[in-house]
Amino acid sequence: MGERIGLEVSLAVSEAVKLARVDAVAAYPITPQTHIVEELAQMVADGELDAYYIMVESEHSAMSACCGTAAVGARTFTATASQGLALMHEMLFIASGLRLPIVMAIANRALSAPLSIWGDQSDVMAERDIGWVQMFAETGQEAFDLTLCCFKIAEDPRVILPTIINIDGFTLSHVVEPLELESQEDVDAWLPTYVPVHVLDPAKPTTVGPVGFPEIYTEIRKQQDMALIGSYDVVLEVWESFEKKFGRAYKPVESYRADDAEIIINLIGAIAGTARIAVDRMREEGKKVGLVRTRLWRPYPFEEMRKALGGAKAVAVVDRALSFGGPGGPIASELRSCLYPLDKKPVVASYIAGLGGRDVTIEDFYTIVAETEKVLETGYTDEYKMIGVRE
Amino acid sequence: MAEKSTDFIPRLLPPRELFAEGHRGCQGCGEALALRQVIKVAGPNTIVCSATGCMEIISSPYPETAWRIPWIHVAFENAAAVASGVEAGIKVLQKKGRYPEGKINVIAIGGDGGTADIGLQALSGALERRHNFTYVCTDNEAYMNTGIQRSSSTPWGASTTTSPSGKESIGQNVPKKNLPKIVAAHDIPYLATACPSYPLDLMNKTRKALEVEGPTYLHVLSPCPTGWRHPIDMAVEMGRLAVETGVFPLYEIVNGRLKLDMVMEKREPVIDYLKPQGRFRHLKPEQIEEIQKVVDEYYESLVYRAECDAKAPEANADEW
């Protein structure tokens, strides 16, 4: 077990990347991710990390260069947020389609307009279908641990897919938290040198990124989908082996006081900390409220979510992203689809909160639960509700 | 009688085509010809990073491939950024002993759209970062892959599907972007203009570009029978006419000094180049005169610059 220290979470991610001994980093500065790549640049400058750091001229080129480094067999990392992720959009599909196991950290941030450097999850929710393995951390320790896990998952020969570790911008990325870093020796033993499956090598020429005509495109997409669905077991396996080695356990879904709960709050990311306090207070007041935090976003943990939420009367889903004019926040609409096959299913109420750096407070969770009680009594009045709007 | 060198030299070239025959290029494609010559010189220890475009789609219809060397296509605007990654990745992995030793040529290839328009930023970034790679722009002066739409590299007066000539339009109504000049502003050690109609020249320039350490650039005019609307057996001749009229002067810029490959005091009239091409068919005599004037002025300015550069001290004289 490592030493317990206080560290900014961004820097904890950088530490994990260093301990993973990445070979290449290509990144472009954008708030609130920048501390991660600044720290990596410093590590390279100080000779602590033996990697090629490509200081690209845009996020589009960052992901393009990552495709290049990964294609020749380099363990590759990048980080971005918000507009940067949006600029990468085109490349994200290609990175997964070409089966390049790049690891990316996203310090989740709002999308413009109006311009906002502050946190929410609109950026990554717009990238739901890119075909990457995607997960969300709540704490600094989790950010550190999951970053290490991402490399092992992405590079597993059964997966070979790019992988995202999401950390909430500012509320997680910029806070100093107590956490344990692991030793290089232990990480080396758990995460050996990357041995790529496919490499651009003149000794064995391959054609990467060809044209796929209609008679083959569907089959290639099917293969990719099988790989992403199949990555689920590998994710579980990697988390189990991580627990064995380092003693900290991770599951696709995290339940808190949810077993007998009538109303369960479902959310993703760092606001779970506040939600837990709200749940405790409401429990003290005799309300049967619980919390389920979804950690693994892609592949979506259908069975675990059904198990964790299927027994409740209602699920109050809190999204830090808005699907304008749609069926509710992205987490809520995924959950509705997930629960739909159940004979007896909870009511799913969708709430939008914490946009563009707006705090999600304990009071907000009280409001959300009260609104959900109303929905239980009278049924839906809105597809979704925005919480904390000043009118 | 002794063989002429032009008869003899081709026999010294490696006969094996690493950019293989049987691809799906149009008949008489000047771009495929250029690529074949470049890849012949580059040889087997080469990785090609291709932008989306004609050469990409004709060479890689899965499960077929025309590439006997490692080849990667990622997207349209990022061949230079992908090449940056490939070059950087090889460098770091060779240092760590995890990639076979030896020199690997990293070549990025893009058309004029993928280079002068949508890929300009990625190209500038890769040049500025001094990656050790060669960028080859095969310039056929429009978006031919999508059906002959104008690019910033389309010459003034050319009719394309998005700059059509008509009662109120001359066709492309702005001059061709001078991309080599923009690339030269990055102060890279070597750049050259070339044309597959002069195969030995193109191949020698490719050799030089690959030998030089650092980013190098080849701007290759690639006649396109489909888009230029000239007969399919005239691609080589069109390239020659482009050079002989001064429309596309061949030069090298080595460490900042420009050298014209042949100083032609008497050049063919531009009408000889324009006339066989359907894209210029609508031009009136006075418009052709205007083109002649612009071509002459530009050519004379290059001659003057080459004279001045010849007298200037070379900043960073590398031998090859």
Give the confidence band of B312 by pLDDT, cuts at 50, 70, 90. Answer: confident
Å from B260 to nearest chain A CA? 33
Parts of chain A belonging to CATH 3.40.50.920: 253-386
Q: Cα(B138)–Cα(B61) distance, rounded to whole angstroms?
A: 20
Query: Does A33 score more than 50 pLDDT?
Result: yes
Residue B257, in any domain of the structure: yes
Over range A197-213, report the average pLDDT.
97
> Could you tell me which residues come within 8 angstroms of residue B38 by beta carbon, excluding any fewer than 6 positions away?
B107, B109, B136, B202, B203, B206, B218, B220
DSSP label of B130: T
Peptide bond just before B63 cis, omega within 30 deg: yes
DSSP H or E stretch at residue A333? helix A330-339
To probe the interface with B, which of A60, A208, A213, A224 has the most B CB atoms within 10 Å? A208
pLDDT of residue B317: 47
Give the confidence band of B256 by pLDDT, cuts at 50, 70, 90. Answer: very high
Q: A77 or B10, which is more confident?
A: A77
* Number of domain units in chain B: 1
Q: What is the pLDDT of residues A214-229, one digit of tens each?
A: 999 999 999 999 999 9
Residue B314, in any domain of the structure: yes
Partners of B111 in beta bridges: B138
pLDDT of residue B315: 64
Beta strands (DSSP E) in chain A are: 4-8, 24-27, 52-55, 76-80, 103-108, 133-136, 163-168, 176-180, 207-208, 253-256, 263-267, 289-294, 296-298, 314-319, 347-352, 384-386
pLDDT of residue B8: 72
Over range A249-272, report the average pLDDT.
98
CB pairs under 8 A between A and B: 171
Tokens of B233: 């057996």
pLDDT of residue A380: 86
Q: Cα(B82)–Cα(A65) distance, rounded to whole angstroms?
A: 5
Q: Which residues of A touch B129 (CB under 8 A)?
A: 54-56
Q: Cα(B167)–Cα(A27) distance, rounded to whole angstroms?
A: 50
Q: B1 or A42, which is more confident?
A: A42
Distance of alpha carbon B56 from its chain centroid, rounded? Answer: 15
Residue B1, in any domain of the structure: no
| % of chain A with per-residue pLDDT over 70 | 99
pLDDT of residue B14: 86
Q: Cα(A199)–Cα(A202) distance, rounded to whole angstroms?
A: 9
pLDDT of residue B262: 84
- Contact between A69 and A26 under an 8 Å Cβ cutoff? The reply is yes
To probe the interface with B, which of A40, A63, A69 has the most B CB atoms within 10 Å? A69
> Could you list the residue range(s) of the whole structural domain that residue B252 is in?
10-319
pLDDT of residue B1: 42
Residue B5, in any domain of the structure: no
Residue B4, in any domain of the structure: no
pLDDT of residue B13: 86
B122 and A211 in contact by Cβ < 8 A?
Answer: no
Q: What is the pLDDT of residues A95-138, one digit of tens each?
A: 999 999 999 999 999 999 999 999 999 999 999 999 999 999 99
Query: Does A190 score more than 60 pLDDT?
Result: yes
Query: Does B4 score more than 70 pLDDT?
Result: no
For the full predicted model, state whether its pTM sits above 0.90. Answer: yes
DSSP annotation string for A8-68: EHHHHHHHHHHHTT-SEEEE---TTTHHHHHHHHHHHHTTSS--EEEE-SSHHHHHHHHHH
Q: Which SS3 state, helix, strand or coil, does residue B300 take?
A: helix
Reference B139, options B80, B170, B180, B185; nearest CA is B180
B99 and A201 in contact by Cβ < 8 A?
Answer: yes
Q: Does domain A253-386 have CATH number 3.40.50.920?
A: yes
- Contact between A187 and A19 under an 8 Å Cβ cutoff? The reply is yes
pLDDT of residue B119: 98
Å from A102 to nearest chain B CA? 12
Residue B212, in any domain of the structure: yes
Chain B within 8 Å of A215 (Cβ-Cβ)?
Answer: no
Amino acid at A27: A
> Could you tell me which residues come within 8 angstroms of residue A121 by beta carbon, excluding any fewer than 6 positions away?
A108, A166, A168, A268, A269, A319, A320, A321
Tell me: ipTM over 0.90.
Answer: yes
Q: Which SS3 state, helix, strand or coil, does residue B118 take?
A: coil
Which CATH architecture does the domain made up of A3-246 adopt? 3-Layer(aba) Sandwich (3.40)
Query: Does B316 score more than 80 pLDDT?
Result: no
Chain B within 8 Å of A211 (Cβ-Cβ)?
Answer: yes
Q: Which SS3 state, helix, strand or coil, does residue A184 take?
A: helix
Give the confidence band of B319 by pLDDT, cuts at 50, 70, 90. Answer: very low
Residue tagged 């070379």 (tokens):
B314
Tokens of B79: 């061949």
pLDDT of residue B271: 98
Q: Cα(A325)–Cα(A242) distance, rounded to whole angstroms?
A: 41
Chain B within 8 Å of A24 (Cβ-Cβ)?
Answer: yes
> Could you tell me which residues come within 8 angstroms of residue A124 by beta carbon, excluding any fewer than 6 positions away?
A85, A106, A108, A134, A164, A166
Q: Which residue of A has its CA nearest to B125?
A: A57
Chain B within 8 Å of A44 (Cβ-Cβ)?
Answer: no
For chain A, the average pLDDT equals 97
CATH number of the domain bearing residue B24: 3.40.50.970
Parts of chain A belonging to CATH 3.40.50.970: 3-246
Out of B47, B98, B125, name the one closest to residue A61 (CB).
B125
pLDDT of residue B3: 54
Beta strands (DSSP E) in A191-272 are: 207-208, 253-256, 263-267
Q: B259 or B15, which is more confident?
A: B259
pLDDT of residue B12: 83
Query: Does B35 score more than 50 pLDDT?
Result: yes
Tokens of A39: 């720290």
Chain B within 8 Å of A93 (Cβ-Cβ)?
Answer: no
Over range B74-97, report the average pLDDT.
98
Give the confidence band of B113 by pLDDT, cuts at 50, 70, 90. Answer: very high
Query: Does A142 score more than 70 pLDDT?
Result: yes
Partners of B219 in beta bridges: B137, B193
Q: Which SS3 state, helix, strand or coil, does residue A289 take?
A: strand
Q: What is the pLDDT of residues B137-173, one digit of tens each?
A: 999 999 999 999 999 999 999 999 999 999 999 999 9
SS3 content of chain B, % helix, strand, coil (to 5): 40, 15, 45
Query: Does B296 score more than 70 pLDDT?
Result: yes
Q: Which SS3 state, helix, strand or coil, does residue A195 take?
A: coil
To probe the interface with A, which of B48, B71, B74, B76 has the most A CB atoms within 10 Å? B74
Q: Which SS3 state, helix, strand or coil, does residue A309 take?
A: helix
- Contact between A135 and A104 under an 8 Å Cβ cutoff? The reply is no
Over range B281-301, report the average pLDDT.
98
pLDDT of residue B214: 97
Residue B246, in any domain of the structure: yes
Residue B234, in any domain of the structure: yes
Q: What is the pLDDT of residues A341-391, one digit of tens each?
A: 999 999 999 999 999 999 999 999 999 999 999 999 999 889 999 999 998
